[in-house]
Amino acid sequence: MPAEITHTRLKEILYNVPPLYHLDRNHWRQFKDVISSHIKVFSKTHSMAVVEEMSSFRWLSGDRLVQKTSFGKSMEIIANFGSHSFDYDGIIIPGKGLVIIDPESEDFYLYQP
């Protein structure tokens, strides 16, 4: 999968921006499994974040490849656009991956598109 598609998927979840797809039937058949699995993660995240405003944004690495957003007090999302793993408070985020954290329960979900 091209790097820009992966980056777009990370940004959609990091910033809570709904995906937009413009596909013909052939492309739908080709990508429907990938799109469907991404939509499941986005939908779950979006259902929690949509009722909150983005309350903060930070770069967590000097090269700005690791970024964090917070939505209200109920959700933190850390995306690693780099190619190497990043340790965020003991949670290892793989390169080209992200973690969704519920600070109240301290539960987290790793996602790598």
Its pTM stands at 0.89
pLDDT at 80 over 80: yes
The candidate with the shortest Cα–Cα distance to 80, out of 70, 101, 94, 62, is 94
pLDDT at 107 over 90: no
Tell me which of 33-42, 47-56, 98-107 is least confident.
Answer: 98-107
Find the mean pLDDT for residues 85-100.
96
pLDDT at 1: 58
Find the mean pLDDT for residues 78-86.
97
Yes or no: say if 82 and 63 are a contact pair by the CB < 8 Å rule. Answer: yes
Q: How many angstroms separate the most distant Cα atoms in the chain?
A: 44
Contacts of residue 98, Cβ cutoff 8 Å, sequence gap at least 6: 10, 13, 14, 77, 78, 79, 80, 110, 111, 112
Find the mean pLDDT for residues 1-9.
82
pLDDT at 2 over 80: no
Encode pLDDT of 66-79 as tens digits. Answer: 999 999 987 999 99
